[in-house]
């Protein structure tokens, strides 16, 4: 196939497997544990697994890896499905590792019958001690010598609920001297009297991750099981189980997990932020969760683009948050509806404009989009501009408004500042300006050239809106690696709420709309909005204004 880009290492493996006839087609899976909401790291894995299947005409299963009853919940299952669909992917099958509990139990029985697994009565401390260290071999205890019959009976009794949590475990009998600690008779089943979100109280024994994951892959006949680098030492066990059970040979491949600076990405840590109310919820727009980014105004396209640009690495690294912001800016520039919103207003009276007259100017919704259409913009004698766009004593080369100076009002007229009207305390009350009627945008015959163009709104029908501006959630690049609690590094100023005055067309804003408030940034309507209160989230500023040490 003709390629603009070179293949990543997983694509190379897949192409070789298809070419050699090892596989006729590929089947990948995305295997979240439903113990939290998905984050941007997961989106990398989603884009990779689904993307490979799409590229090579294969399929992807969504499999909930729900073998840990205590932390899992149906709320998480629903949010995960919602987020994957929002990202633009559809799975071939929805499966649950818990659906395989009976089969996994039978697999353990098979190992016991082959003399390759045993029931161990040791405490977890004893097991840990007997395991040795990476430099000293472990030792086997007397339980490893149990007969097949005794093991089968004890395992059945474990299942029947005869024992309490921790009283017994089942271990694979592999090699207590292996340099790989995972191969030193790993635990494959444990007792846990806990309610499971799907199987209820049917089970009081649960398979360990290493005994559930590979076998679930195999049951589904996953061809390429893609996971992150920390699973490299688990691969020999993955292969060992499949080989000894004589089941479909799924293969595991590992790539570098995505890490982003100025945030944390483990569900356990994100849950702490939620539970301890450092954020308003999993979908707080400052969270690196898919639901947070979505509420913040990120688009699926921008996240997929980000995943693509990050690539598939074999070594861990820390990706810049600003790359994610770059991707969303790129996309929003193409699709966002331009709107005028003034944040910190100062009143301008256009003294030569007829009292009581309002004209409707027409302007483009998005100059980047030929199908973007036009909208009306009312203009009359009193308007608001940004206080920051006026200076009474400007420096040289000041292109905004100053006494005697001229600027263009975006999509409207050129105005000149004639008089600064003050309050008793010396502060500015309003500006008196005159406009040049022949300078109307689109039909300007004035011949006057000005350097600055300002955004503005018509005072009479400006709509007050609330704007939530977000900054990095953490003050340091890698909070998880800092000394002490990662929460000590939370940025106290990550949320600023400001007021804005928007042009009247903002009334038509819908939740899916994306906006560029001119000269300000990109925004979207927040779900906290109501019919008479508009609340906007700032997705991202227009330019990358964030540099280290701010
Ligand atoms: P966390 O540590 O955040 O809880 P996890 O790995 O335990 O993440 P899972 O639900 O087990 O979360 O992950 C589902 C899939 O997503 C796994 O295949 C996992 O390797 C992948 N994944 C998780 N985090 C990342 C990441 N930061 N980058 C790439 N892939 C990831
Ligand atoms: Mg996990």
Q: Which domains does the chain have, with CATH numbers?
A: 9-255 (3.40.50.620), 267-337+465-541 (2.40.240.10), 341-454 (2.40.240.10)
The span from the CA of 183 to the CA of 201, in Å, is: 31
pLDDT at 550: 37
Kindly indicate the confidence band of residue 8, based on its pLDDT and cuts at 50, 70 and 90: very high
Reported as a single tens digit per residue, the pLDDT across 469-525 is 999 999 999 999 999 999 999 999 999 999 999 999 999 999 999 999 999 999 999
Reported as a single tens digit per residue, the pLDDT across 39-68 is 999 999 999 999 999 999 999 999 999 998
Instruction: Give the contacts of 309 (CB within 8 A, at least 6 positions apart).
Output: 323, 327
Reported as a single tens digit per residue, the pLDDT across 341-377 is 999 999 999 999 999 999 999 999 999 999 999 999 9
Among 411, 406, 409, residue whose Cα is nearest residue 442: 411
pLDDT at 74: 87
The span from the CA of 33 to the CA of 67, in Å, is: 8
Average pLDDT, the chain: 96
On the question of pLDDT at 547 being above 70, the answer is no
pLDDT at 1: 46
Question: Dihedral, CA atoms, 487, 488, 489, 491, nearest 10 degrees?
Answer: 90
The answer to whether residue 382 is catalytic is no
pTM: 0.93
Reported as a single tens digit per residue, the pLDDT across 211-255 is 999 999 999 999 999 999 999 999 999 999 999 999 999 999 999
SS3 content of the chain, % helix, strand, coil (to 5): 30, 25, 40
The answer to whether residue 33 is catalytic is yes
State the average pLDDT over residues 148-167: 98
Please pick, among 15, 33, 364, 382, the residue that the annotation labels catalytic. Answer: 33
pLDDT at 412: 98
Please pick, among 81, 244, 257, 334, the residue that the annotation labels catalytic. Answer: 257
| Residues within 6 Å of ligand 1 by CB | 31-33, 41-42, 44-45, 65, 227-228, 257-258, 265-267
pLDDT at 83: 98
State the average pLDDT over residues 422-451: 96
Kindly indicate the confidence band of residue 5, based on its pLDDT and cuts at 50, 70 and 90: confident
């Amino acid at each position: 196939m003709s390629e603009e880009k070179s293949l990543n290492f997983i694509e190379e493996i897949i192409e070789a497997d298809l070419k050699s006839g090892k596989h006729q087609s590929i089947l990948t899976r995305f295997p979240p544990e439903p113990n939290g909401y998905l984050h941007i790291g997961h989106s990398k894995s989603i884009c990779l697994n689904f993307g490979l299947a799409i590229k090579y005409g294969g399929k992807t299963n969504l499999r909930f890896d729900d073998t840990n009853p205590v932390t899992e919940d149906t709320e998480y299952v629903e949010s995960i499905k919602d987020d994957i669909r929002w990202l633009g992917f559809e799975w071939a099958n929805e499966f649950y590792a818990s659906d395989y509990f009976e089969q996994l139990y039978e697999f353990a029985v098979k190992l016991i019958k082959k003399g390759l697994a045993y029931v161990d009565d040791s405490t977890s401390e004893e097991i840990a001690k007997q395991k040795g260290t990476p430099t000293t071999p472990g030792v086997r205890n007397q339980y490893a010598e149990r007969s097949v019959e005794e093991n089968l009976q004890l395992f059945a009794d474990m299942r029947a609920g005869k024992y309490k949590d921790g009283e017994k475990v089942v271990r694979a009998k592999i090699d207590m001297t292996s340099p790989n600690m995972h191969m030193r008779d790993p635990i494959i089943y444990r007792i846990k009297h806990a309610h499971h979100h799907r199987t209820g109280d049917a089970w009081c024994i649960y398979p360990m991750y290493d005994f559930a994951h590979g076998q679930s892959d195999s049951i589904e006949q996953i061809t390429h099981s893609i996971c992150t680098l920390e699973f490299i030492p688990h691969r020999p066990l993955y292969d060992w189980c499949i080989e000894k059970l004589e089941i479909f040979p799924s293969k595991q491949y590992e790539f570098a997990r995505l890490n982003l600076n100025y945030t944390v990405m483990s569900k356990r840590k994100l849950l702490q932020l939620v539970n301890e109310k450092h954020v308003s919820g999993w979908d707080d727009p400052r969270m690196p969760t898919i639901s947070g980014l979505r509420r913040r105004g990120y688009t699926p396209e921008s996240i997929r683009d980000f995943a693509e640009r990050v690539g598939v690495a074999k070594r861990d690294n820390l990706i810049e948050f600003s790359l994610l912001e770059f991707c969303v800016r790129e996309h929003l520039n193409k699709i966002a509806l331009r709107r005028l919103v003034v944040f910190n207003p100062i009143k301008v009276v256009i003294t030569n404009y007829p009292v009581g007259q309002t004209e409707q100017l027409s302007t483009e919704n998005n100059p980047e989009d030929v199908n973007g259409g036009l909208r009306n913009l009312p203009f009359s004698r009193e308007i608001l501009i940004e206080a920051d766009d006026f200076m009474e004593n400007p420096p040289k080369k000041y292109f905004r408004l100053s006494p005697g100076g001229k600027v263009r009002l975006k999509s409207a007229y050129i105005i000149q500042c004639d008089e600064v009207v003050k309050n008793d305390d010396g502060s500015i009350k309003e500006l008196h300006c005159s406009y040049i009627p022949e300078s109307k945008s689109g039909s300007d015959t004035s011949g006057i050239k000005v350097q600055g163009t300002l955004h503005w709104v018509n005072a009479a029908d400006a709509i007050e809106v609330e704007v939530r501006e977000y900054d990095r959630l953490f003050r340091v690049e890698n909070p998880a690696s800092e000394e002490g609690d990662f929460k000590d590094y939370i940025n106290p100023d990550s949320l600023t709420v400001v007021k804005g005055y928007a042009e009247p067309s903002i009334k038509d804003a819908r939740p899916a709309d994306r906006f560029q408030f001119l000269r300000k940034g990109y925004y979207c309507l927040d779900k906290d909005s109501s019919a008479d209160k508009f609340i906007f989230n700032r997705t991202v500023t227009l330019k990358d204004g964030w540099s280290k040490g701010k």
